[in-house]
């Protein structure tokens, strides 16, 4: 019996994976999502080149072409049930698919690894009904991964300062900048806009979010929100903004908050800022 989840990882390609511990996070999160986190598992994961995966595909599936991912499991053999077998991924094929789907390579690799792990637990896509179930599950797992594949934090930090500079904090002189990042790699700026009629004031986070919605984006398009304030310590978002964020962003969306010189930060999520948020469903 394993005492922790373990990946026997080998990279036989020249690809360097950017996100540290990427596959560990994906493995742990997938086990949690399919309710297999009551026990510990091991799996072998190899990254191989196109020629190698083509050979394996020919040998084991009689298909004379490269593929993205292959899984070799133990077909539920109970003696070795905590060893899930092995998953083989070809990053070259993954890279092509990532370009097609317009998402980062790391996200595609995570997707393929999830696919492999699900196979190792007996999920399949041989008939339409099983396929529907498996694809839905793997998408849910991918979309709920606690990894931000998109945001360039250096770029965000630079743009936060720029956004904050334009703040219209006429009365409080407390300047706040915000940036919302969308999946098409656009960074949308916002800042607080105050008014002589104080309640008419709108916070930076909401200015940025509303402008994103005004451009036609919706919550599924948003990958993160950042904000910066004049606070020495990390100031956080007000209650009104948290409520708006919980409706206009997905709940596990990352939120990055910085103090005035970006020397201190808080990384959280929408539901980290506002657990048990009041939602439309609560009105039904």
When the beta carbons of 44 and 277 are compared against Zn ion, the nearer one is 277
Q: Output the CA angle 250-254-257, nearest 5 degrees.
A: 130
Taking the least distance from each CB to Zn ion, the nearer of 109 and 208 is: 208
Nearer to Zn ion, 131 or 240 (CB): 240
Closest of 18, 11, 16 to residue 150, by C-alpha: 18
The footprint of Zn ion on residues 190-249 (CB under 5 A) is 203, 238, 241
Closest distance of CB 144 from Zn ion, Å = 26
- CB 213, min distance to Zn ion, A: 16
- CA 58, 64, 70, 71 torsion: positive or negative? negative
Minimum CB distance to Zn ion smaller for 203 or for 222: 203
131 binds Zn ion (CB under 5 A): no
158: tokens are 């630079």
Residue whose entry in the numeric block shows the structure tokens 């690799």:
109
Q: How far is the CB of 205 from Zn ion (least distance, A)?
A: 6
Residue 86 phi, psi (nearest 5):
-135, 150
Least distance to Zn ion, CB of residue 228, Å: 13
Q: What gap in Å lies between CA 188 and CA 192, rounded to an integer?
A: 14
What span, in angstroms and rounded, lies between the C-alpha atoms of 199 and 197?
6
Q: How far is CA 137 from CA 102, 123, 283, in A?
A: 21, 10, 28
- Per-residue binder mask for Zn ion (CB under 5 A), 1-40, x = binder: ----------------------------------------
Footprint on residues 49-88 left by Zn ion (CB under 5 A): none
Map residues 136-175 to x or -, x wherever contact with Zn ion holds by CB under 5 A. ----------------------------------------
Residue whose CB is less far from Zn ion, 77 or 233:
233
CB of 203 to Zn ion, least distance (A): 3
For every residue of 68-81, DSSP letters joined together read: SEEEE--TT-GGGT
Q: How buried is residue 157: exposed, middle or buried, by Cβ count under 10 Å (0-12/13-18/19+)?
A: middle
Residue nearer to Zn ion on the CB measure, 45 or 203: 203
Binding interface with Zn ion (CB under 5 A): 203, 238, 241
């Amino acid at each position: 019996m394993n005492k922790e989840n373990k990946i026997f990882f080998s990279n036989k390609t020249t690809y360097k994976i950017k996100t540290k511990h990427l596959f560990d996070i994906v493995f742990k999160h997938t086990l949690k999502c399919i309710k297999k986190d009551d026990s510990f598992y091991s799996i072998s994961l190899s990254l191989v080149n196109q020629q190698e995966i083509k050979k394996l595909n020919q040998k084991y599936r009689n298909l004379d072409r490269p593929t993205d991912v292959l899984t070799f499991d133990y077909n539920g053999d109970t003696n070795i049930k905590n060893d899930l077998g092995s998953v083989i991924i070809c990053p070259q094929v993954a890279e092509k698919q990532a370009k097609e789907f317009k998402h980062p390579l790391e996200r595609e690799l995570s997707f393929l690894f999830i696919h492999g792990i699900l196979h190792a637990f007996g999920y399949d896509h041989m008939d339409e009904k099983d396929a529907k179930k498996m694809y839905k599950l793997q998408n849910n797992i991918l979309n709920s991964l606690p990894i931000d594949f998109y945001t360039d934090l250096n770029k965000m930090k630079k743009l936060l300062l720029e956004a904050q500079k334009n703040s219209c904090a006429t009365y409080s002189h407390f300047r706040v900048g915000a940036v919302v990042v969308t999946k098409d790699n656009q960074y949308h700026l916002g800042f607080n806009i105050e008014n002589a009629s104080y309640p008419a004031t709108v916070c930076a986070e909401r200015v940025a979010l509303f402008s994103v919605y005004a451009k036609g984006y919706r919550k599924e398009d948003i990958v993160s929100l950042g904000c910066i304030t004049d606070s020495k310590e990390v100031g956080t978002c007000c209650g009104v903004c948290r409520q708006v964020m919980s409706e206009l962003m997905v709940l596990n969306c990352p939120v990055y908050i910085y103090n005035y010189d970006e020397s201190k930060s808080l990384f959280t999520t929408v539901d980290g800022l506002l657990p048990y948020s009041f939602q439309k469903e609560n009105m039904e």
